[in-house]
Amino acid sequence: MQGWKDELGSTRSILGELNRTLLDISREIRYNPEKVEENRLRVTALTGFQKRWNCEGSDLGALADDLRNKLDGMSNLDAEVENLEAKIADDEEHLIEIGKKLSLLRMEAARKLETQVHDKLAFIAMEKARFRIEFDSLQLDDPYTDGLDKVEFQLSPDGKISYNTLSKVASGGEMSRILLALKSSLATVDDIDSLIFDEIDQGISGRVARLVGQQLFELARERQVIVVTHLPQIASLGELHLSVRHDGDSRTATVHALGGEERLEELAALLTATGLSDGALLNAREMLESAQKLRAAS
């Protein structure tokens, strides 16, 4: 046991030295509840950061440095936002100025279009109708995507009734003829390839029907024109004549392209309600020959 005696003596000496050191430390330490609570909260926060960023406690310092650098790089965002807001304000002011110039050009073009439409309406038996293009006040606070103007096409059917929106005062036939007048006036600038007219022959006949047909013929030089009509004066001017007939009581119809004698007989049938006659056939032939001369001249 002599060997253990020496070990115990050495251990007693070490413990005594440790005891004295701890006593010295304890004399210098003062218990501070606030500091304890501060450290507890800090440990809780650091533990939460570890879970949030899925990292070890030793990595939190590097992570904090990286986030701090990113925040420093974003310190100029306020200045950039101010610059962008100033640029937007300048662009809006420029947009308004351009919009005002565009509005003046539109008004000038509108007056010219009104005159052209009036002339064409008079040509197709609507000489009493009055057409105008009404401009609303400029939308300065909330511009449209295509300018500052809200434009409405208005009509007084006989020049006495108050002007109103086309859809409210124009009948189906009038609307078709107004559309014809508009499209004829805009034929060189409008980018619509095909136009369909239905009931354009409503309330007209004879010479007026022929004039409407000629107007359609002129428009067809610039665009594809499809016309639904029962007037031979108009049908005879078409380059292609299609006959549409219902199949009995069914909801289907048959469309047949007419040519030669078939077309001649169809036009003659449209000319008379009493059946085909030599006079009707002769009149239909004259219409086709006149249309052929018109096409040749164009």
Whole-number pLDDT of residue 96: 93
CA distances from 59 to 50, 63, 65, 115 (A): 9, 6, 10, 81
Please, what are the domains in the chain?
81-235 (3.40.50.300)
Q: What three-state secondary structure class fits 34?
A: helix
Instruction: Tell me the average pLDDT across 137-164.
Output: 88
Render the burial of 269-296: b for 16+ CB within 10 Å, e for the rest: bbbeeeeeeeebbebbeebbeebeeeee
Alpha carbon separation from 284 to 88, 206, 237, 261 (Å, rounded): 67, 13, 11, 10
Q: Is the pLDDT of residue 45 over 80?
A: yes
Position with higher pLDDT, 231 vs 176: 231
243 and 230 in contact (C-beta within 8 Å)?
A: no
pTM above 0.75, yes or no: no
Give me the long-range contacts of 102-111 (CB less than 8 A, separation at least 24): 102/147, 102/148, 102/149, 103/135, 103/138, 103/147, 103/148, 103/149, 106/135, 106/147, 106/149, 106/151, 107/135, 110/135, 110/151
Q: How far apart are CA 229 and CA 206, in angstroms?
A: 14
* pLDDT (0 to 100) of residue 71: 81
Q: Which of 257, 265, 264 is nearest to 291 (CA)?
A: 264
- The token pair that represents 152 in the structure block: 């409405």
Across the range 126-133, mean pLDDT stands at: 89
- The pairing of beta strand 253-258 with beta strand 164-165: unpaired
* pLDDT band per the 50, 70, 90 thresholds, residue 24: confident
Q: How far is CA 109 from the centre of its chain?
A: 23
CA atoms within a 13 Å half-sphere pointing along the CA-CB vector of 200: 30
d(CA 39, CA 33): 10
Helices (H), 29-76: 33-53, 60-73
What does the angle CA 70 – CA 74 – CA 79 come to, to the nearest 5 degrees?
A: 170
Residue 154 β-bridge partners: 132, 165
Q: Is the pLDDT of residue 124 over 90?
A: no
Nearest to 269 by CA among 290, 286, 284, 247: 284
List, for residues 84-101, the tens digit of each pLDDT value.
Answer: 999 999 999 999 999 999
Beta-strand relationship, 194-198 and 224-228: parallel
> DSSP labels for 125-155?
T-TT-EEEEEEPPP--SS-BTTBS--EEEEE
- Collapsing DSSP to helix, strand or coil, 185 comes out as helix
Provide the mean pLDDT of the chain. Answer: 87
Res. 255 pLDDT band, cuts 50 70 90: very high
pLDDT higher than threshold 80 for residue 3: no
pLDDT at 107: 94
Strand partners, 244: 255
